């Protein structure tokens, strides 16, 4: 073996050894510090489907239904009638002395006599005159009060016009029968679709109850969107277009039992979002089990999930 060949062999051996050592070091586990661990619950990842279309399903043999569009009461104005009753009426008794002359005169005499007993000479005359004037006024007032208290009563018939309350005799109802609008009258206010039998819209409440009791429950074909996908389902109740309904296990959850079960499980932890710090920077990984330590093992820069 010449000198040049020996040198090449030695260099090749050195390079191969160094490369192998690097490969072994790169393939060996490394660690990353765990920054945070956040539980992921069923409720956090719950999917919701949006209702885009609702169509009633026609059950063979079932009567057509007239859907209620609007309604208004039929009102008959109350009649006006005369109502009479007997009432006791108090009257002022007529007076023969409307100007209270007798009271004035009597008061003046008494007042004059009292005034005459005061003073003497011209003073007595003045007192007599003033007493007569004051006595006359007092006598007039006393007689007036006495006259006002003199009353008598009579029984009289008093009549008034009274309007009776308006009466609602029924309802004018507009319905939709297979796309055609019709107006009917009903004795009550219907709030549910009315059955149509042989072209006749049934409004009698007892007949309506009997027909509906024998009808199969209504079903509705519902179209919904879930992300960028469309799906269809059959439901017993018609949701409004635009309603968001929980979606799980390939179906819409609408029954009370399904919704109660979902509510009971919404806080159940199904995974963990683990944030870690490695030489390459911050990373996240989803793990089904809570990490047991403060670090994650890495292999070729990726977390090793147990």
Instruction: Identify the CA nearest to 114 among candidates 100, 131, 101, 126.
Output: 131
Distance CA 61, CA 199 (A): 14
What mean pLDDT comes out for the span 240-261? 95
Inside any domain, residue 72: no
What angle, rounded to 10 degrees, do the helices at 122-148 and 101-116 form? 150
Confidence of residue 14 (pLDDT cuts 50, 70, 90): very low
> Mapped to the 3 state alphabet, what secondary structure does the chain carry?
CCHHHHHHHHHHHHHHHHHHHHHHHHHCCEEEEEEEEEEEECHHHCEEEEEEEEEECCCCCCCEEEEEEEEEEEEECCCEEEEEEEEEEEEECCCCCCCCHHHHHHHHHHHHHHHHCCCCCHHHHHHHHHHHHHHHHHHHHHHHHHHHCCEEEEEEEEEEEEECCCEEEEEEEEEEECCEEEEEEECCCCCCCEEEECCEECCCHHHHHHHHHCCCCCCEEEEEEECCEEEEEEECCCCCCCCEEEEECCEECCCHHHHHHHHHHCCCEEEEEEEEEECCEEEEEEECCCCCCCEEEEECCEECCC
Inside any domain, residue 132: yes
What pLDDT, on the 0 to 100 scale, is given for residue 139? Answer: 65
Flag whether pLDDT at 88 surpasses 70.
yes
Instruction: Identify the CA nearest to 261 among candidates 249, 275, 274.
Output: 249
What pLDDT, on the 0 to 100 scale, is given for residue 152? Answer: 78
Inside any domain, residue 212: no
Q: What digits encode the pLDDT tens for the residues 163-172?
A: 999 999 999 9
Inside any domain, residue 266: no
What pLDDT, on the 0 to 100 scale, is given for residue 113? Answer: 67
What pLDDT, on the 0 to 100 scale, is given for residue 24? Answer: 37
- The mean-pLDDT minimum among 98-112, 220-234, 289-303 falls in 98-112
Distance CA 99, CA 225 (A): 100
Name residue 91's beta-bridge partners.
152
Q: Is the pTM of this model over 0.85?
A: no
Inside any domain, residue 14: no
Inside any domain, residue 148: yes
Q: How many domains does the chain have?
A: 1
Inside any domain, residue 182: no
Inside any domain, residue 130: yes
More confident residue, 28 or 184: 184
- Which range of residues forms the domain containing residue 144? 83-160
């Amino acid at each position: 073996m010449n000198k040049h060949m020996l040198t090449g062999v030695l260099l090749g051996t050195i390079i191969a050894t160094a490369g192998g050592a690097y490969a072994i070091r790169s393939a060996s586990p490394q660690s990353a510090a765990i920054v945070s661990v956040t539980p992921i619950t069923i409720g956090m990842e719950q999917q919701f489907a949006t209702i885009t279309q609702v169509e009633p399903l026609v059950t063979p043999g079932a009567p057509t239904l007239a859907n209620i569009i609007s309604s208004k009461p039929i009102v008959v104005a109350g009649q006006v009638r005369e109502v009479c009753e007997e009432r006791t009426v108090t009257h002022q008794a007529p007076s023969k002395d409307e100007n209270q002359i007798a009271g004035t005169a009597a008061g003046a005499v008494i007042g004059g006599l009292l005034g005459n007993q005061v003073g003497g000479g011209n003073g007595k005359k003045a007192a007599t005159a003033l007493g007569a004037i004051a006595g006359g006024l007092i006598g007039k007032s006393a007689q007036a009060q006495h006259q006002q208290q003199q009353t008598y009563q009579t029984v009289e018939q008093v009549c008034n016009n009274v309007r009776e309350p308006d009466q609602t005799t029924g309802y004018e109802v507009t319905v939709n029968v297979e796309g055609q609008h019709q107006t009917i009258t009903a004795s009550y206010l219907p709030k549910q679709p009315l059955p149509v039998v042989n072209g006749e819209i049934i409004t009698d409440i007892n007949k309506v109850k009997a027909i509906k009791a024998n009808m199969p429950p209504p079903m509705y074909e519902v179209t919904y969107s879930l992300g960028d996908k469309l799906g269809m389902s059959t439901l017993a109740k018609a949701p409004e277009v635009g309603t968001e309904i929980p979606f799980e296990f390939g179906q819409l959850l609408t029954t009370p039992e399904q919704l109660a079960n979902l509510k009971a499980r919404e806080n159940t932890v199904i995974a963990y979002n683990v944030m870690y710090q490695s030489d390459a920077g911050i990373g996240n990984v989803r793990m089904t089990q809570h990490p047991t330590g403060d670090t994650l093992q890495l292999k070729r820069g990726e977390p090793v999930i147990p």
